[in-house]
Amino acid sequence: MNTHLAKKFISIDRDFIWHPYTQMKDFEHKDPLFVERGEGVFLYDVYGKAYYDTISSWWCIVHGHNHPHIKEAITRQINILDQVHFAGTTHEPAIRVAELLREFVPKRLSRIFFSDNGSTAVEVALKMAVQYWHHAGFSEKNTFVSLEYGYHGDTIGAMSLGGVPQFKGPFDALTFDSIRLPAPYCYRCPMGQEKGECDIDCLNPLEDILKEKRDQIAGIILEPLLMGAGGMLVYPETYLKRLEALIKDKEIFLIFDEVATGFARTGEMFAFMKAGVIPDFLCISKGLTGGILPLGATLTTEDVFNSFYAEYIEGKTFYHGHTFTANPLSTAAARASLELFKLNPIVESVKAKELILQNSVKAFMDFPFVGDIRGIGMVWAFELVKDKETKTPFPTEFRAGWKVYQEGLKHGLILRPLGDVTYLFLPQCITKRQIEDCLQRLWTTFEACKKTFSS
Ligand code: PMP
């Protein structure tokens, strides 16, 4: 596209469009990245410049952009059935994807409820859990335990359980309370302990909570092993094991939000599999379609399903549904994506790539402003600090993460940060050579930032 036309489009964007998670005033000084097409792990802007899709287009791309198998599935499906309501109807793509997904999850998760994004997959789990206890005669079990720095989506219910203060600020009056546990933020341990040398003491408060409030708790929700939006906080598998032991036989649902961690991003098909702790509810989305079309799903147990299974007049119907629930195109894409998981050793390849990343990123600790490096599978994060010794953050107005992002764009990386956490959330399909190239570019980016950061 020529520059004149591109500028014209950008000015229409600036005049009319409001972008998510964006301070629109930033566009006064900086044009948005004007993306034209995607291929594999690359996005290309309208001027033809290639960028690694370093954050997998908001944590969803799995097999790469424009994948022929997924593209063909969607194209085939659009000629047959594009959209239909999912109440009282069904269709082959939904059935096929459910049948396939069953092969990838433990038998205990025997029921699937489709929706159309990650927040709704979470809302469904919350509502099912509360309604289940209501059916059982325990209507007072309607509170959830959630984590500081947790993130479960931007709808009011999912946001109520989120623990990232800046996302919630003005909405206090609208959100409902949950019982908060300190986050397993190992670099800044809430219990004052050293990373890797603890007995998961950050779960100690749960013991008292269970003694005092067990009868009010419907469930506990968390992102297993990797808390994404809270700053890519990676925590050990033993956390999940201790949690499971603490709530065993306490009649509290365990809800895992694997919207971001699912589909091999962490080195197992689902992160909970690394710990061998199976939840009562599993919320998935993003990578379910390979990241190509919107779809969400909530998986749960036969016990939960049976609680809703009754004559219509008994009022146990689950009154929840979205227009695009199980959309035929999205489910066709999801089926194609899961077929690729069956055809290719993706989980194994992520394990191998995790080792490469783990070894290579260590060198970045030499940068004076890198305070912590943490990672799992395809996700590696760098917490940028003003003072490494004291772990003092940069002042907010310095916008260190944002500066790295701007510099990264010059080197073909899209390093959209979480505050001052710069991270790679790489597509599972990236090759080893591409990983090396990415890290080389990241090094160059950090080198270029070194001067501004130390002055
Ligand atoms: N849960 C988690 C763990 C997420 O990371 C996200 C999205 N980043 C969501 C829920 C919400 O998903 P969506 O944006 O599709 O509503």
Give CB contacts under 8 A, 24+ apart, made by 190-199.
190/148, 196/236
Residue 151: active-site member: yes
Least confident of 20-34, 133-147, 252-266: 20-34
pLDDT band at 132 (very low <50, low <70, confident <90, very high): very high
Cβ atoms of 184 and 239 within 8 Å: the answer is yes
Does 454 have pLDDT greater than 90? no
Interface confidence (ipTM) of the complex? 0.99
Cβ atoms of 375 and 358 within 8 Å: the answer is yes
The neighbouring-strand residues paired with 296 are 115
Give the DSSP letter string of 179-194.
EEE----GGG-TTSPP
Residue 241: active-site member: no
Q: 210-246 burial by CB neighbour count: b if 16+ within 10 A, else e?
A: beeeeeebbbbbbbbbbbbbbbbbbbbbebbebbbeb
Q: Is 148 helix (H, G, I), strand (E, B) or coil?
A: coil
Task: Walk me through the domains of the chain, giving residue ranges and CATH numbers.
Answer: 33-66+346-454 (3.90.1150.10), 70-343 (3.40.640.10)
Does 455 have pLDDT greater than 70? no
Task: Quick: pLDDT tens for 332-347.
Answer: 999 999 999 999 999 9
Does 181 have pLDDT greater than 70? yes
Does 351 have pLDDT greater than 80? yes
Rounded distance, CA 374 to CA 423, Å?
Answer: 9
Which of the following is catalytic: 21, 82, 342, 432?
Answer: 21
Residue 82: active-site member: no
Residue with tokens 């952009």, as numbered in its chain: 65
Question: For residue 55, with 0-12 CB atoms within 10 Å meaning exposed, 13-18 middle and 19 or more buried, which class applies?
Answer: buried
CA of 299 to the centre of ligand 1 (A): 16
CA of 396 to the centre of ligand 1 (A): 25
Task: Quick: pLDDT tens for 287-312.
Answer: 999 999 999 999 999 999 999 999 99
pLDDT of residue 140: 98
Angle at 177 between CA 173 and CA 182, to 5 degrees: 125
Mean pLDDT of the region 124-135: 98
Rounded distance, CA 316 to CA 225, Å?
Answer: 34
The best mutation among 56, 149, 151 to test binding of ligand 1, ranked by most ligand atoms within 8 Å of the C-beta, falls on 151
